[in-house]
Chain A
Amino acid sequence: MEDAARLLQLVINGAAGGCIYGVIALGFVLIYKASEMINFAQGDLMMLGGFVAFSLIAGMGLNYWVGAALAIAIMAVFGFLLDSVVLRRVIGQPQFAVIMLTLGLGFIFRAAAGISFGYGSVTFVTPFTNKVENFGDIAIGQDSLSIVFGTVVLCAVLYAFFSKTRIGIAMQAASQNQLAAYCMGIPVRTIFSLIWGISAAASAVAGILLAPSTVLDVNMGFLGFKAFAAAVLGGFGSIPGALVGGVVIGIVEQLAGYYLPAGFQDVTWNSMLLLVLIVRPQGLFAETQRKKV
C-alpha cells in the first residue's frame, strides 16, 4: 500500500512537471503548424513570462491574479510584435536561418533578463506556495495541483477558441492552407502574428504555473529543450500529442529519478525520444494528410 501510494504521488508530481513541458511544447507546435518555423526561444519566452510576473507581483505589489493576467497579456503582445517585427523578415529564407535567429533571440532574452533582474534566482509568493492537500495516504502539493488544473483550463480555453470562434477557425485554416486562406480574404500575416502571441502567452502561463514549485532564474528557459522533445514525441504538429508527450516525459523523468541510480533522470527523456524516433518516427499522434489529385 505504501508503495502504491508513493507511486501515485510520483506519477502526479511527474504529470505536473510534464504539464509544463506540454504547455511549452504546445507553443512550439502552434508556431510550427502555422508557419513551419521552430521557435527555439520558446523556453526563454517562458522565462521572460515568469520574470514579468515576478516584477509585477513581487516588485510592484500587485495581486497575484491581476499580476498573472497582466503578465500573460504583456507576453502575448510581445509575441505578436516578435513575429511582426523580427521573424517576418526571415520568411522565405532557409530553415536554418530561422533556427539561428530564434537561438540568438534566446541568448538576447537571457541576457536582457539577467541585466534587468540579476543572475541570481528569485521567487514570489503565490496562493499555492507550500500548501499541501491530503488525500488519504497521499499528500500532494498545491503547486502541483495548480499546474495540472491550470494546464487543463488553458487547454479548454484554447480548444474552445480554435474550434468555435471565427478567428480561431481562420487560424486553423491559415495553418492548413496558406494560399487558400489568402484567397478567402483572411489576413494571413496578421493571423500568424496572433498565433505567435498565443504561443508566447501559453509560455508565460507555463512560467507562472511553475513559479510556486521552483525558483526563477535566467537559465530556466533550457527547460524548453525537454519541451521540444515532448513536441517531437507527440508527433510535431499535433497539439494533443504535445501535451501527452510532455506528461509522458514528466512522469518517466520523475520515476527514473526515484527508482534508478542518480544521473539517469537526465538521460531518460533523451532515451525515450530516441526510442520513439526509432520505433515510430512520425511521433505518437501524427496527423497526416495526403492530397488528392
Chain B
Amino acid sequence: MSVDPILRVSNIETYYGQIQAIRSVSLEVPRGRIVAVLGANGAGKSTILRTVSGLMDPERGSVSFDGKDIVHMAPDLVMRRGMCHVPEGREIFPFLTVSDNLAMGAYTRRDIDGIARDMDVCFSYFPVLRERASQRAGLLSGGEQQMLAISRALMGRPKLLLLDEPSLGLSPILVTQIFNIIRRINQEQGVSILLVEQNAHIALKTADYGYILEVGRIVLQDECRVLLEREDIREFYLGQKDTGVRGARRWKRKKLWRS
C-alpha cells in the first residue's frame, strides 16, 4: 500500500447481468507511475477499467480517485475530475475531422491557448496526425486511430489515463512506437497510467508495477522487473521457455499461483 495513490480500487465486484465478471479486485495506481493489468481474453481486464471510469457500476466495493470516492458517479463527471479512459478498439468519432476529434477531447476545458498548445504537443508525439488534421477520422488507419484516441484523451489534461489494450490489432513496430510514447507521456507530463494489456511482454517492459488477472481475480502482483524474471510468467505470459541443462519439460511446469 503506497501513501496517497491517485487511484485506489478496493474489492470491486462487477456483473454483466447474472454473470460476475470481476471478483473482489483491489488495486492501486501510485501517483506518476504506470501500472499494468495483464490477463487473457475474458479475464475481466476491460471490465475493471469500465468500472473505474464509471461506465459500469460495481455491485460491491469502492473506487477512490484522487482522494474522492467516485463509485456510482456518471462517467462524464468522473472525466471532469481528471480521469481519461481510452476504451478498447479506439472509439473515435468517425465523421469528425482529426482536429475536431482532438478538440472534443478538450471539451471540458475553456483555455483556448492551452488547448492549442496541447494540440501541438499531441502532434509532436504523433506527427502523422498533423498531416491528417483536416481528414475525417474514420479514414485513418487502425494505428493512426489508436494514436488519435490516445492524443484525444491527453487533450483533457488527465491526472490518470486509462488505456484499454493500446496494442490491439497493431503491427509490432507500431506497438513499440506507441508504448514508447506512453512512456514519454508518463515521464514528460507526469500523467499516471493504468494500462490493460494482453501483450504481456511490452506491457511489463513499459510499466512499473503489474497485476495478473485470471478469470476475474487478481492472482499475482509485483514490480514489473520482478514479474519479468519469474519462470511461470515467462512461460505462460511471455511464451519463453528456458531449456536448461535438464531441459525442463512443459508438463512439469506449473503456475506457482493459485487461480
Contact = CB atoms under 8 A, between A and B. Distances in A.
Interface of A: 166, 169-170, 172-173, 176-177, 179-188, 287, 289, 291-293
A182 B75 contact: yes
A24 to B, nearest CB: 23
A184 B91 CA distance: 11
B175 interface: no
Nearest to B152: A184
Contacts of B105: 184
A32 to B, nearest CB: 15
Nearest to B136: A289
A20 B169 CA distance: 47
A172 B95 CA distance: 8
A185 B107 contact: yes
Given A172-B96, A293-B169, A188 B87 contact: no
**Consensus secondary structure, chain B interface:** mixed
A34 B25 CA distance: 35
A169 B95 CA distance: 11
B145 A292 contact: yes
A83 to B, nearest CB: 17
A184 B104 contact: yes
Interface stretch (B6-14, B77-85, B179-187): B77-85
Contact of A169 (B80, B84, B100, B169): B100
Given A182-B55, A182-B76, A293-B169, A287 B95 contact: yes
Contact of A176 (B55, B96, B108, B149): B96
Interface in B10-49: none
Q: Which of A181, A182, A186 has the most CB of B within 10 A?
A: A182
A172 B169 CA distance: 27
A179 B95 CA distance: 15
B123 interface: no
B107 A183 contact: no
Contacts of A289: 94-95, 138
Contact of A177 (B77, B85, B92, B107): B92
B53 interface: yes
Given A292-B141, A293-B142, A185 B94 contact: no
A179 B80 contact: no
Contacts of A179: 55, 87, 91
B156 interface: yes
Nearest to A180: B91
Contacts of B55: 179, 182-183
Nearest to B109: A185
Given A181-B104, A184-B105, 14 more contacts: A166-B103, A169-B103, A173-B101, A176-B93, A176-B95, A177-B91, A179-B55, A182-B74, A183-B91, A183-B153, A184-B104, A184-B156, A186-B104, A292-B141
Interface string B200-214: 000000000000000
Nearest to B110: A166
Given A169-B104, A177-B94, A289-B138, A186 B76 contact: yes
Given A169-B104, A292-B145, A293-B169, A183 B93 contact: no
B176 to A, nearest CB: 20
Interface in B53-81: 53, 55, 74-77, 79-80
Nearest to B77: A185
Contacts of B87: 179-180, 183
A293 B91 CA distance: 11
B147 interface: no
A73 to B, nearest CB: 26
Nearest to A167: B107
A169 B101 CA distance: 9
A192 to B, nearest CB: 12
